[in-house]
Amino acid sequence: MTKPLIIVESPAKIKTLKKFLGAKYNFASSVGHIRDLPEKEFGIDVEHNFEPKYVNLPTKKDVIKKLKDSAKKSDIVYLCPDPDREGEAIAWHVAAILPKSTKLKRVTFNSITKTAVLEALKHPRKIDLALVDAQQARRLLDRIVGYKISPILSKTIKRGKGTSAGRVQSVALKLVVEREIQIRNFKSIEYWKILTKLNTKSKEKPFDAFLYSVDDKRVEKEKTDKKDVFLIPNEKTAKAIVDKLKKATYKVSKIEKKEKKRYPTPPFITSTLQQEASRHFGFSANRTMGVAQSLYEGVDLKSKGFEGLITYMRTDSVSIATEALLGARAYIKNKYGNNFLPESAIRYKSKKSAQEAHEAIRPTNLYLTPDEIKELLTLDQYKLYSLIWKRFIASQMKPAIYDTVSCDIETDKKIILRATGSNIKFAGFLKVYVEKKDISEEEEEIKLLPHLEEGKTLLLKDIISDQSFTKPPAR
């Protein structure tokens, strides 16, 4: 009796799949794409509805032979490349080179775990030609733009080597150039910041209060067209204000206390994972995706064998499978207690263009904590897995709660200062995860003020004036 054949696009996946499916199946890999447009021809018949002319890649001659031979020995072939446009196209191209008599089924799984794979094999489908068409449209546009425009650029811009154009890179270059023009045209403007250090008693640790308004005009850091605002433009103006403050008396005029909630962010999608990995670890986008690919395809957990640790990493959806939500809630309750668990699971809304069939990037098994399997991962894998694991758990926890205080301090010189402070009342999701971009903000926010009352007189301990310049847009 012949065995079913499973074809994937990556040899690394086979190790993990063999663990779940064992000797009941044969396996083969396409090692990526096996067909493409010809390298030295345009390869698109513009006169006949942009019909592409695909050719077998010369480097995949042996791979194609192996796929054909393996298919002949099987009564059914499961096409299992990745669950996205590119994976669907690979499945379609593989189907095109196999004998027409081959019985083909398309199977996709969002994670490479035993449950996900076995369930997917129970529900095979036909190749989704709409997804294939979407991939082809992008590929043909790449060829049309690159093939037609690149030679013109190479002749026009003589740099000693070829200059290329592309569907994505040319638009990206335009955005980069426009931003660079903004930066070069930017004229930096001088301004000054003034900070006072005050306390209620002479031996008490002082707290910071920044300049808020002068002569009923709000102090701004940047040049603005707003009315009733005041920019400290130079050292002379700053010195005049400092001299007034040295002679002033200080009194608390207004205190506002508020409770502030800060909510967790959704689990990662491809773009947010790349951004956070860059902020935390300095990873490039390619490095992040390479590490994520290895976590998705499977890691050798020794006694547990190969196992996929995360769901598919190319996704723009923040949706989460119900069983994963329930698993996260159970973990949070067990690990951190009911106080950290919202009344119901948090479901995030994806943008309209997102592929909802996909999930957000999340761990496949929450009980495989980063620290538990640290010794079995490379350093890069451990860093990225920790980030994904923590972000997912945090996304299902209660918001953090702050007590915030804003205190206005009047002087007898028509100058008002403002001091702000806050402390974390309840850590919520911050117990697990803080975004890198927010770490400095967290440190800034968590400032305790002494006990202050309206009408209370304060003592001046120090004044700091600091020259600054407005900054151009970031590159």
User: What is the distance between the alpha carbons of residues 147 and 44, in angstroms, rounded to a whole number?
Assistant: 11
Going by pLDDT thresholds of 50, 70 and 90, the confidence category of residue 225 is low
Residues 86-137: tens digit of each pLDDT:
999 999 999 999 998 899 999 999 999 999 999 999 999 999 999 999 999 9
Residues 6+ apart with CB under 8 A from 116: 109, 110, 364
- Nearest alpha-carbon partner for 367 in 405, 423, 324: 324
Chain centre to alpha carbon of residue 283: 12
C-alpha atoms less than 13 angstroms from C-alpha of 290 in its C-beta half-sphere: 7
Residue 21 tokens, joined: 């499916």
- pLDDT tens for each residue of 137-151: 999 999 999 888 888
Q: Are 132 and 89 in contact (CB under 8 A)?
A: yes
* Closest by CA position to 102, among listed 68, 134, 143, 133: 68
The CA distance from 172 to 456, in Å, is 57
pLDDT digits (tens, 9 = 90+) for 371-409: 999 999 999 999 999 999 999 999 999 999 999 999 999
* pLDDT at residue 469 greater than cutoff 70: yes
Residue type, 368: L
**250 a catalytic residue:** no
How many other C-beta atoms are found inside a 10 Å radius of the C-beta of residue 377? 21
Q: Is the pLDDT of residue 221 over 90?
A: no
For residue 395, what pLDDT is reported?
97
Q: Which of 102, 145, 136, 115 is nearest to 19 (CA)?
A: 115
261 vs 411: CA distance, rounded Å: 33
Q: Which of 296, 312, 385, 433 is catalytic?
A: 312
Amino acid at 20: F
Distance in angstroms (rounded) separating the CA atoms of residues 91 and 108 = 10
- The full set of domains in the chain, from first to last, is 5-127 (3.40.50.140), 136-185 (no CATH), 190-263+400-469 (2.70.20.10), 270-395 (1.10.290.10)
